[in-house]
Amino acid sequence: MAPKKEEKVPTLKGQDAEDAVLQYMLNMNRPFGSTDVATNLHNSVPKTQVVKILASLAEKGALSMKPYGKVIIYVANQANMDTLSKEDCDALEKQAKDLEERQKELNVELKTASSDLSRVKSAYTEEEMAQRTTECEEKVQRLQALLEPLRNGAPLLSEAELAKIDADVKRWKKEWLNRRKVFQQFWGSITESMPPQESNELREDLDIEGDSPEHIQLEKRLNAKGPARLARKASRQRGAM
């Protein structure tokens, strides 16, 4: 499967760029240099513009700055930050503990998933897995296409329609069986004196195909239940959706 192309991040300018930088610094509330800010914003604001915006925000008092050699570090001005109440601190502490527990659960799930993935990879190559995934996706699309008319409220089959289906299926089944019988008699007469291998080769050369597994299965189902019962079952299943 070809890798997906990364979506191009739109470039921000003017006030939008300044708002994006300030919002990022307030949300993170950690010290950053201009390079880190530009990178973490996925270069939606060019680095040269980030440098100017950070300096401007520091002049306005929105950020605090501290030079370290040639590098200037910026952080949200803590004097402008709201002080959390004890209740808020307790709530955040509880949230942190809950997240820690959830992380442990996810680690267990990740370990299990990794084990399953290793087992699957040992059974199939990446190419085979990609092919099976594509086949499954195509099958899902076909089944969804079959379900769509039912979800849209397609009318159920009436007794008259079921009777017509029953009659049509019986007629075509009889024609199918008659033609198969004629062919078998004809084929038996012309290959009677041939060895089995030669007969099979001739069949392949003439591109003659027998009943497929689907045909055989359909014949068994029709013999067991009959077309009308199969149609009624399908009609009831549609009504239950």
Judged on CB neighbours under 10 Å (0-12, 13-18, 19+), 37 is: buried
The answer to whether residue 45 sits within a structural domain is: yes
Cα angle value 49/50/51 (rounded, 5°): 90
Structure letter (DSSP) for residue 8: P
The answer to whether residue 23 sits within a structural domain is: yes
Residue pLDDT, tens place only, 178-230: 888 888 888 888 888 888 888 888 888 888 887 777 877 877 777 765 555 55
**Separation between Cα atoms, residue 103 and residue 96, nearest integer Å:** 10
Closest among 38, 37, 44 to 8, alpha carbons compared: 44
**Separation between Cα atoms, residue 212 and residue 180, nearest integer Å:** 13
Residue pLDDT, tens place only, 59-75: 999 999 999 888 899 99
pTM for this entry: 0.35
**Separation between Cα atoms, residue 61 and residue 130, nearest integer Å:** 55
Q: What is the CATH number of the domain that holds 71?
A: 1.10.10.10
Q: Which domain holds residue 176?
A: 159-240
Total domains, the chain: 3
The answer to whether residue 173 sits within a structural domain is: yes
Q: Are residues 64 and 111 in the same domain?
A: no
The answer to whether residue 221 sits within a structural domain is: yes
